Amino acid sequence: MDVASFFRSEFAEHHAVARATEAALQPAFAGLLSACVTCIRGGGKIMLFGNGGSAGDAQHLATELTIRYKTNRAPIAAIALTTDTSAITAAGNDIGFDRIFSRQIEALGRQGDVALAISTSGKSPNIILALKQAKAMGLVTAALGGKGGGDMAGLADHLLVVPSDTTARIQEMHITLGQMLCGALEMELGLVSPS
Mean pLDDT of the chain: 97
CATH number at residue 173: 3.40.50.10490
With 90 as the cut, is the pLDDT of residue 194 above it?
Answer: no
Q: In this structure, is residue 194 part of a structural domain?
A: no
| Residue 45 within a domain | yes
State the Cα–Cα distance between residues 129 and 127, nearest whole angstrom.
6
Confidence of residue 60 (pLDDT cuts 50, 70, 90): very high
Query: Does 179 fall in a domain?
Result: yes
Supply the pLDDT for residue 140: 98
Q: What is the 3-state secondary structure (H, E, C) of 45-93?
A: CEEEEECCHHHHHHHHHHHHHHCCCCCCCCCCCEEECCCCHHHHHHHHH
Residue 16, pLDDT above cutoff 70: yes
Predicted confidence (pLDDT) per residue in 86-115, tens digit: 999 999 999 999 999 999 999 999 999 999
Cβ atoms of residues 116 and 155 within 8 Å: no
Residue 193 within a domain: no
| 195 lies in some domain | no
pLDDT category, 192, cuts 50, 70, 90?
Answer: confident
Percent of the residues in the chain that have a pLDDT greater than 90, as a whole number: 96
Residue 118 domain-assigned? Answer: yes
Q: Give CA torsion, residues 125, 104, 144, 26, to 10 deg.
A: 150
Range(s) of the domain holding residue 174: 3-188
- Number of folded domains that form the chain: 1
> Where does the pLDDT of residue 1 fall: very low under 50, low under 70, confident under 90, or very high at 90 and above?
confident
